[in-house]
Amino acid sequence: VFLCPTDVADNYVGTPMVERVIAVDPLPLPRVKDVQCPPAPDGGGCTCGPERCQGNYGWDGMHPDLVIGPDDLMPNDPGRLYAICRERGITDLLYVGFHTQVCLL
């Protein structure tokens, strides 16, 4: 499992899931298709819309109930993610987004 929490990745520096990624030399990325994703709906400052968020795990860390496995990795660099995939023979990725403040589109 690759966990990629972008904004809070620095909170996990020094953990095995980050250190194993840092040990991998990044590779240059291949040319990819230009994919356009629709923007998140404007909620007037909160992407939840008019309903206020009950909790905020997005700026300080991942949700405390998320179980991180001993073999999970946390790449915060596309070149390293690509290098890990090449090294392990991973050719397909399934992107899943779970965000406590944004409805999945």
Residue 35 belongs to a domain: no
Residue 16 lies in a domain: yes
pLDDT for residue 93 is more than 50: yes
Average per-residue pLDDT for the chain: 78
Residue 34 lies in a domain: no
pLDDT attached to residue 105: 37
Name, in order, each residue with C-beta under 8 angstroms of 79's C-beta and a sequence gap of 6 or more. 26, 27, 28, 29
What's residue 62's pLDDT?
A: 75
pLDDT of residue 80: 93
pLDDT in tens, 51-86: 555 655 556 677 778 888 889 999 888 899 999 999
Provide the residue range defining the domain that includes 19.
1-29+40-105
Burial class (CB in 10 A: 0-12, 13-18, 19+), 36: exposed
Please state the domain count of the chain: 1
